Amino acid sequence: MSVGTVKAVPFHEKSYWEGRFEQENHFEWLLSWDALKPLVESYLDPNEPILHIGCGNSRLAFHLADDGYPHVINVDYAENVIQQMKAETSPKYDRIEWYAGDCLNNLLFLLNQHDLHDGFSVVIDKSLCDTIACGDDDEQTSQQKLAHQVGSLVRIGGVWLCVSFSSQREHVWDQPSGMGWKWKREHAIPVPVNHPNSLPGAPEIFHYLYINRKVPA
């Protein structure tokens, strides 16, 4: 009897997401805004733009705007989902913006376009780190690249709020000499996930919120 091979879902491939977004209207990865809000609201400023990277078809931007954080800038490398979300953004949300861009490459155009010469105060990543980890090498090259790219967009003192499946996700690596900054992990918060269909006695499941602050090196 032969054992079948289980094919892993290619979460790290752009073509996977483009195909998925052709079929899917909305999907909220990991924690909902209701679950996140009490954990992250102290880091948010209603007068500051919030950058949401790897946004997909999440409705997080609308929930943030409804709760008093109107300026949300969303980025994803799948252009079809950006066009879809633009079409769904009503005039009520006139400060929600959508951009196609690769979060592992240069997104500095966002700073120039919004006159944010010092950088964003908050970047939110809901499982983007996980999708990148799926295709990474043993040295975690792509995850290090993500940490560097996010750091290039955040001001000193700003935060990267990262939600992950993993209890051991890395965000803090040595930066190239002369960068003048580094990431400091302030908190790694396990958040219980309620599954109404779980069997009695099933082990508790957690997602993880990492709060990383950009500090001088």
Percent of the chain with pLDDT over 90: 72
Dihedral sign, Cα of residue 13, residue 19, residue 22, residue 27: negative
pLDDT tens digits for range 166-183:
998 888 776 666 789 999
Length of the chain: 217
Residue 160 — pLDDT band, cuts 50, 70, 90?
A: very high
Least confident range from 28-32, 57-61, 194-198: namely: 194-198
Q: Which two tokens stand for residue 217?
A: 């090196």
pLDDT at site 6 = 53
For residues 115-134, give the mean pLDDT: 94
Residue 102 — pLDDT band, cuts 50, 70, 90?
A: very high
C-alpha distance across the termini of the chain, in Å: 58
pLDDT at site 145 = 92
**Would you list the domain boundaries of the chain?**
28-193+204-216
Calpha distance 165→155 (Å, rounded): 26
Cβ atoms of 155 and 118 closer than 8 Å: yes
Calpha distance 182→171 (Å, rounded): 10
CATH 3.30.70.370 for the 28-193+204-216 domain, yes or no? no
Most confident listed range (26-30, 38-42, 106-110): 38-42
pLDDT tens digits for range 65-85:
999 999 999 999 999 999 999
pLDDT at site 201 = 72
Whether residue 3 is predicted with pLDDT greater than 70 in this model: the reply is no
**Averaged pLDDT of the chain:** 91
Calpha distance 215→205 (Å, rounded): 32
Per-residue b/e over 49-77, b at no fewer than 16 CB within 10 Å? bbbbbbbbbbbbbbbbbeeebbbbbbbbb
Residue 2 — pLDDT band, cuts 50, 70, 90?
A: very low
Percent of the chain with pLDDT over 70: 93
